[in-house]
A and B are shown apart, each in its own frame.
Chain A
Amino acid sequence: MLFNSVIFILFFLIVVAVHYLPINWKLKKLHLLLASYFFYAAWNPPFVILLWISTCVDWFAARGMNRVRSKLKRKLFLFISLTANLGMLSWFKYGTLFMETFASLVEPLGWVWVAPEFNITLPVGISFYTFQTLSYTIDIFLKRSEPEESFLDFALFVTFFPQLVAGPIVRPNQLIPQFKSPKRATANQFSWGVMLFIWGLFQKSVLADTILGPVAGHAFGLAEEMLVFDAWLATFAFSGQIFFDFAGYSLCAIGIAYCLGFSLPDNFKSPYAAIGFSDFWRRWHVSLSEWLRDYLYIPLGGNRKGNKRTKINLMLTMLLGGLWHGAAWRFLIWGAVHGFYLLLERTFFQRSKSHSELGFLPRLLGTLLTYLAISITWVFFATPTWESCGIAFRSLIGWTDSPIPVIKTIEITMILPVILAMLIGHWYMRDRKLVTVVQQLPNWILGILLFTILTVVVLTGGSDSAFIYFQF
């Protein structure tokens, strides 16, 4: 059930209606849990079983871990949790990739092995809820928190539908405490939640799907040598598409949760206004960056074991972060390039001035260079094959024989203002919060803006595009 579908609106209206009935809190939570299972089953009913497995394994593993004193036994419970969760993730997400890679590796040795065709379907959002539930067991293993007493609250934490399939990846201590007391939004909060949802829908349906996505998809999917101008424009279009697609989804999720009285953390903080790559990762998909930092980078030793080890830890974290995004070696390369960027930054700019001390021009230059470098890495995401990836990179530097224009002039006139507005918007919002900016707007301007966005969303409609991050 996509957020940008009519049936989701109907589903949500029913959920809201029941949530605000005068019934006790436990029943309301049970209703939210069942609604979340229904929401997930709407795509493919059998995959709800995976959610149940994840929930039950981690519930019992955490309690077992807390009951025993022996470190070995605690490790055994952690092992069970990791094996169950990462096992499911590996099979469904990486099974085909691993088998095909194995087949291609043994072929030169004279062993012809054909990977069996399982036609594996990727359960929507498995990477998100796997990481979310893993954070629970790891926290308990590391004695950062105690096991949850209520199975209902824990199951709801794993399954909470607004952020179930594409984040934000929420930590137990961010969400479970919110289930402890009755939650309801005030009329003002509810309206703000609806506005966030509408703004998210606009980003997804209009900017990502209608203006930027088709152009980037066509230019990179065509796998033809492009004019340098077209190649760069397609790259910028994809940078906008992936941002609006994912940030739009996150905003929808935040808005929906807020309508029900729950607060989810921000997942994007004007990432294209980042100055440098570590700044970028503090702003892009924040919940994943923080997860990788807290559950991978720091346990590997973080920056506490010397310069060399820090660099290795950084690279390993980014490689795994890359592979988390998709079952293709291109994503690993994407992670490697980001790891390389971070190493460069650490080597050459570690002791430079803080961002606030920089003048306007250095900050602007730093932002634009960062955006440019990040945009180039998106080519690994945007191209469907290695061949098209190579062609895209060659087109970007003009190393082509007979390049052709692949973007219509009318599309150019729409993409350029959108990209420019996105960059200016990120720059303006860099150190501001949306709520503060809206607070300062006159009511009539807010009303006109809201009406315009709503109208454009409704009249544009008609797309059945899934969110890009669903595949991750």
Chain B
Amino acid sequence: MRLAVAFAILCAVLVANAALAQDAPKGSAERGKKLFVDLNCYSCHGTHAQGGGRNSEPPIPLGYPFAGFLNQMRKPRLDMPAYEEKLVSAQEAADLFAYFSSIKAAPAAKDIPQLRN
């Protein structure tokens, strides 16, 4: 459960749309993707930032702003590692957020034949 909440918070950010990114500093999605891999974020959140979690917890509804995302990185709730300024700068955090914002939404479950059964 602890991880589920932590994951869900980040997951909400991962799938945040462009509108949510408007309150974030300008970032580079390309740099963010590279940083996402370098920091091993993919070990919990997937190589496509699609989510996964220790037990692959499902996401909660969207709606987390950049400020909240940055706070979660600096002083994470629950199980997520902390990334302070000297490890991930404000610009890098913006890059990460830009990457998350660029990710296309997952297909709807109803449109996936294998999930209909």
Decide whether A and B are members of one complex: no
